[in-house]
A and B are shown apart, each in its own frame.
Chain A
Amino acid sequence: MSLDRTDVDKIAHLARLQIEEQDAPEYAQNLSNILDLVNQMQAVDTTDVLPMAHPLDAAQRLRSDNVTEDNQRELLQSVAPAVENGLFLVPKVIE
């Protein structure tokens, strides 16, 4: 299994991750090696085996729909890169 530059660029875009031009060939090589490793799985017959998402096959817990947390907006926004009037600032998205 071998991935090329185009594949890496496509995956990096899906992950919204900038990869430096000069690093791309190494990532392509690393990823190809990792995929070779994980492709060992394909040799195993798993027909009728149920995928296991939780080790104890637990079901999602539910709770009643009540407010249980205090409003801590200022505290939680204290670690944000850019905030104004309680809003997170990002570059303009609508012209």
Chain B
Amino acid sequence: MFDKTLAELAIGLKTGQFSSVELTQAYLARIKAEDDKYNSFITVTDELALEQAAKADAAIAAGNAGTFTGLPIAHKDIFCTQGVRTSCASKMLDNFVSPYNATIVDKFNQAGAVTLGKTNMDEFAMGSSNESSFYGPCSNPWNTDYVPGGSSGGSAAAVSAQLTPAATGSDTGGSIRQPAALCGITGLKPTYGRVSRYGMIAFASSLDQGGPMTKTAEDAAIMLNVMAGFDQRDSTSADRDVPDYTAELNKPLEGLRIGLPKEFFSGDINADIAAQTQAAIKEFETLGATVKEVSLPNTALSIPAYYIIAPAEASSNLSRFDGVRYGYRCENPTDLEDLYKRSRGEGFGPEVKRRILVGAYALSEGFYDAYYNKAQQIRRLIRDDFSKVLSEVDVIMGPTTPHPAFKIGEKSSDPVAMYMEDIFTLSLNLAGLPGMSIPCGTIDGLPTGLQIIGDYFAEQKLLNVAHQFQLATDWHKQSPQGI
């Protein structure tokens, strides 16, 4: 049962093979038995899940069930969940029981979903390895000595270890796609503004975007159908119609034009990853696609531009954590400044502090033009590169990451080395474009991902392309040994 996709489970529920309560109990028991190995959940919401499952069963019995009714999922602990601790994996919010729901949590509740719990992540989503979590690192189910990627590492590990059929994630610089690649699952970062940011604890507001993390592209489409849509409460929400993301999954790929950016296959990249990406592209050619080399000349600049824009926005967003209105407060503050400084100094971990400091420096008097403004100019150059290429091809493909998963602890003392791993994912957030990662191979027992990039609001196309690949191959069906 645990290897079933959302689409398969939905049929099981509707045909009475099992009830949502049975399904939920089975997953809760599995989390209890297995998650010690991975630490993929921060909070398991047993009571809430069983209550939602009973409601779903009643809806199914009454004939009021929708596609998602009774399906269990987990939420990244960045999404505010009413009555449930929402920690963002930080000591700062360890005591924060959210008084309201994120819009996407509301949407899943309304769709009849069952919330199994809240997944581990890098603190405030700042990291590519899940090692900066206040609740300890999360392990990669393919090899527990290795990181699952980050920041949505817990969501990726939980789906990969079959502790949940699917999970939500958020992606500011690759935080859905990179852990999806490293854990051998499917992850989709939608177009900026497609999924509401309301109640998704802010990291870098002009880059943040929530999305699905699943076993298959079909499941990602089913989840995006629930998540996507305009939200009055998100000031940058896209006011556009939401198509049925499952509607075009079965379109043949005959005539699909694929662009391969030469910059994604040069420099410091694992040779096996490059070869596996090329093999995946060969598969697309047999499915009727044509391939041409393209160029995204400013790819390398996405790292410096991102590591100014993201910390600058983070330092501004995280100023709300002041020890006054919610979250951690230091003991016995001597005065207001001491209250601010010690609450923040004690409540935030080292990577979050580093980014706040970088951001505060970049935004400080005399440096704004040299850093933030310059980065925003480069951001436009990167966006324009993509626009030019996407006027000639339908999708862009390349590896999701330059290397497979690394060992826990291997890069944690060198932030810059860690940042370099984000080279292929950052540019999409800067440009606001949608991107997916789907499994396309393994290296020494660790999975690798193929990244598929599309034009603005081309999620339907991405899902179609990924689904057709998954019909023709079985990389997405591989699971870690013993699972």
Chain A interfacial positions (CB closer than 8 Å to B): 3, 7-8, 11-12, 14-20, 23, 27, 30-31, 33-35, 37-42, 44, 46, 49-56, 58, 60-61, 63, 72, 75-82, 88, 90-93
Q: Are A79 and B354 in contact (CB under 8 A)?
A: no
Shortest CB distance A69–B (Å): 10
Closest to A78 in B: B99
Q: Are B326 and A79 in contact (CB under 8 A)?
A: yes
Shortest CB distance A33–B (Å): 5
Q: Which of B335, B339, B344, B354 contacts A31 (CB 8 A)?
A: B354
Q: Are B305 and A41 in contact (CB under 8 A)?
A: yes
Q: Which of A19, A33, A44, A91 contacts B378 (CB 8 A)?
A: A44
Q: B344-377, CB under 8 A of A: which get 1 and which 0? A: 1110101001101111111010000011011111
Q: Are B381 and A17 in contact (CB under 8 A)?
A: no
Q: Are B304 and A17 in contact (CB under 8 A)?
A: no
A63 to B308, CA, bound (A): 32
B301 at the interface (CB under 8 A from A): yes
Q: Which range holds the interface residue count of chain B? A: 35 or more
Shortest CB distance A95–B (Å): 11
B341 at the interface (CB under 8 A from A): yes
Q: Are A34 and B416 in contact (CB under 8 A)?
A: yes
A39 to B374, CA, bound (A): 10
Q: Are A90 and B336 in contact (CB under 8 A)?
A: yes
Q: Which of A40, A46, A63, A81 contacts B329 (CB 8 A)?
A: A81
A35 to B357, CA, bound (A): 11
Which of A14, A15, A31, A77 counts the most B-chain CB atoms under 10 A from its CB?
A15
Q: Are A12 and B380 in contact (CB under 8 A)?
A: no
Q: Are B375 and A41 in contact (CB under 8 A)?
A: yes
Q: Are B346 and A51 in contact (CB under 8 A)?
A: no
Q: Which chain B residues lie closer than 8 Å to A50 at the CB level?
A: 377, 380
Could you jot down 24 A-B contacts, CB within 8 Å?
A15-B360, A17-B341, A23-B350, A27-B357, A31-B361, A33-B415, A34-B307, A37-B303, A39-B304, A41-B304, A41-B378, A50-B380, A51-B379, A54-B206, A56-B192, A60-B235, A61-B235, A63-B232, A77-B325, A79-B325, A81-B326, A81-B327, A91-B333, A93-B335
B338 at the interface (CB under 8 A from A): yes
User: In chain B, residues 79-102, which have Cβ atoms closer than 8 Å to a Cβ of chain A?
Assistant: 95-99
Interface of A is mostly: loop
Q: Which chain A residues lie closer than 8 Å to B327 at the CB level?
A: 79, 81
| Given A49-B380, A49-B381, A52-B383: A17 touches B324 (CB 8 Å cut-off) | no
Q: Are A58 and B236 in contact (CB under 8 A)?
A: yes
Q: Which chain A residues lie closer than 8 Å to B431 at the CB level?
A: 55
| Given A14-B360, A15-B315, A18-B342: A82 touches B329 (CB 8 Å cut-off) | yes
Shortest CB distance B66–A (Å): 28
Q: Are B456 and A56 in contact (CB under 8 A)?
A: yes
Q: Are A90 and B376 in contact (CB under 8 A)?
A: no
Q: Are B301 and A44 in contact (CB under 8 A)?
A: yes
Q: Are B341 and A16 in contact (CB under 8 A)?
A: yes
Q: Are A76 and B99 in contact (CB under 8 A)?
A: yes
Given contacts A52-B376, A88-B325, 11 further A-B contacts (CB under 8 A): A15-B315, A16-B319, A17-B344, A31-B357, A37-B303, A51-B376, A51-B377, A58-B236, A80-B325, A92-B335, A93-B336
B141 at the interface (CB under 8 A from A): no
B193 at the interface (CB under 8 A from A): yes
A84 to B303, CA, bound (A): 47
B2 at the interface (CB under 8 A from A): no
Shortest CB distance B364–A (Å): 6
Which of A18, A33, A40 counts the most B-chain CB atoms under 10 A from its CB?
A18
Q: Are B373 and A51 in contact (CB under 8 A)?
A: yes
Which of A30, A54, A55, A78 counts the most B-chain CB atoms under 10 A from its CB?
A55
Shortest CB distance B238–A (Å): 7
A31 to B336, CA, bound (A): 27
| Given A20-B345, A58-B236: A40 touches B304 (CB 8 Å cut-off) | yes
